[in-house]
Amino acid sequence: MTDRRISSIAIVGGGTAGWMAAAGLARSLAGMPVRIHLIESRQIGSVGVGEATIPPIMDFIRQLGIDENELIREVKATFKLGIGYRDWTRIGHFYFHPFGPTGPGIGSVSFPAYWLKMFLEGKATRLEDYSIQAVAAERGRFARPVHAPNTPLNKITYALHFDASQFARYLRRFAEARGVQRTEGEVRRVLLRPQDGFIESVSLESGETIAADLFLDCSGFRGVLIEEALATGYDNWSHWLPCDRALVVHSERAGAPAPYTLVTARDAGWQWRIPLQHRDGNGYVYGSAFASDEAARNVLLTNLAGKALGEPMPLRFTPGRRRRAWHRNCVALGLAAGFLEPLEATSIHLIQRGIAMLLKFFPDRDFALADIERYNRMLEFEFERVRDFLLMHYTQTERAASFWDHCRAIPLTDSLREKLELFRSHGRILREDSELFPVLSWLSVLVGQNIIPRRYDPMVDGLDPEKIRTRLDDIRDAVRRCADAMPSHQDFIDSIALSRTTSPHAVPS
Ligand SMILES: Cc1cc2nc3c(=O)[nH]c(=O)nc-3n(C[C@H](O)[C@H](O)[C@H](O)COP(=O)(O)OP(=O)(O)OC[C@H]3O[C@@H](n4cnc5c(N)ncnc54)[C@H](O)[C@@H]3O)c2cc1C
């Protein structure tokens, strides 16, 4: 029997996607005779703006065996407990989308069901009061979860904000220490096998040719392999997602770092503030049909908390996804696979999912079509559900301005329409299969954007209202007490800086 195993992988691109893939594969394929080669071009550079993450990134870091504190020091990270939405529903309004699970159920009745009943009757306070993430974030506090059964401290759920370029550099050292070979250079030609159109090799401007069994396209928006060579096609989702430009600028830190991303709605889009240890990251994401680049620049620069550190960097994008992220012997990851704007910081997560699913369906040189098709279907589902979640933010607001009028008129997808109807009828939220956002995320944004169910779930009527009230009071009190006992976010970061140790997983610089 001939050996059909993959023996070589070439990764084109050394941004966040390329180095995450290199690190993930180097770790997972260790012990297998597979050579991994990464090609990147300093001339072209990387986007390097993805600085906010969501909680599953912590699993990626742990699975690599990386010491979390060491990483936090190196990539100047801060902690993220969720996203604060300012002026989004209407000017002057604020709501918080916290990470984490909802409160505990009572018997078979879920927390959202009984909280909603009491909220509709004016007997429960706002949703944020029952989330340790939301209350800690509002008070500028942070701690990691501790083993304290039956308390909110047990379930603290967090992600990181980090310097994207430092993160890629860190992963590069990790990957190179595990045998990944890096070549500096620009891919100029992609050679396809005449018999089946599979990629045989790529040639660099130096004349060097690199052949491999499997190619990962991490080359960013252009999709040098998946699109320019394989013409896989792109589904343009701009009829659902109205923003197509961004301006990005760093600024001096003003005050202690908040343990959350702040998102503020503007007349033609929204602005983010991501606090890092040494600076803030800022960006204005907007629809070019509703603001000129110059107007957007003014809005961004006049709304920074600290002094701008340079000129804003412009970026253009088309929201959507590659029709097939895996085609023949090429898998696209990161921006090459598609881009859904960063409102909920999902792009790095989709890279992580792409890598995890590639490992799940790791091919041999026959590249079974069933595996490829299942991979593509799963990724498509994840992209679509993220798209729905984003779309909900845009269509359900009360803001005035032509951009927001346009957003309210965007036709909903069938899947989102069903979600909204289920919620409006009896406050029900269903999480399907591998859907990313948990119930608390949907509930927070739905209620935050003033979507209030007509009726509550009738199953709640089986509960004694006094018992519900006591349970809600207990949760709220416990959340408040636990948040008060947590250190400030700044103190927590300082303690990590002071605890500098050489971890068993430290990567040589
Ligand atoms: C405005 C904005 C804000 C964002 N914010 C977030 C966020 O908060 N959270 C989040 O999760 N995501 C965010 N993202 C997305 C995130 O930035 C990307 O998912 C992430 O950086 C991955 O990018 P990439 O590695 O796919 O592409 P890039 O960073 O563009 O890297 C492409 C790489 O390919 C190389 N390359 C390209 N062509 C060639 C060639 N011909 N030969 C050799 N090498 C080549 C380049 O040199 C580079 O190394 C944001 C994106 C934008 C546009």
Q: Residue 482 CB: number of other CB atoms within 10 A?
A: 21
Looking at residue 279, what is its pLDDT? Answer: 97
The per-residue pLDDT for 328 is: 98
- 106 touches 470 (CB < 8 A): no
Reported as a single tens digit per residue, the pLDDT across 68-118 is: 999 999 999 999 999 999 999 999 999 999 999 999 999 999 999 999 999
Centre of ligand 1 to C-alpha 279, Å, is 21
- Say yes or no to pLDDT of 49 above 70: yes
CA–centroid distance, residue 15 to ligand 1 (Å) = 5
Residue 2: its pLDDT value, please? 85
Residue 267's nearest CA partner among 88, 130, 101, 138 is 88
**The pLDDT value given to residue 461:** 97
pLDDT for residue 504: 41
User: Which atom of ligand 1 lies at the shortest distance from residue 49's CA?
Assistant: 17
- Looking from the CA of residue 17, the nearest atom of ligand 1 is 25
Q: Which residues line the pocket of ligand 1, CB cutoff 6 A?
A: 12-18, 39-41, 44-53, 164, 186-187, 218-220, 222, 224, 246, 248, 283, 315, 317, 334-336, 342, 345, 347-348
Task: Tell me which of 37, 46, 187 to substitute to probe ligand 1's pocket, judged by most ligand atoms within 8 Å of the beta carbon.
Answer: 46
State how far the Cα of 133 lies from the Cα of 124, in Å rounded to an integer: 18
Atom of ligand 1 nearest to the CA of 334: 26
pLDDT digits (tens, 9 = 90+) for 176-222: 999 999 999 999 999 999 999 999 999 999 999 999 999 999 999 99
pTM: 0.97
Report the pLDDT averaged over residues 363-390.
97
Q: Tell whether the model's pLDDT for residue 134 goes beyond 60.
A: yes
Q: Average of pLDDT values for 28-40?
A: 97
Cβ 397 vs Cβ 449: under 8 Å: yes
**In whole numbers, what is the pLDDT of the chain averaged over residues?**
96
What is the predicted pLDDT for the residue at 501? Answer: 54
Q: What is the pLDDT of residue 434?
A: 78
pLDDT at 373: 98
User: Which one has a higher pLDDT value, 435 or 439?
Assistant: 439
Q: How far apart are CA 147 and CA 130, in angstroms?
A: 20
- Residues 231-238 have a mean pLDDT of 98
Percent helix, strand and coil across the chain, each rounded to 5? Answer: 40, 20, 45
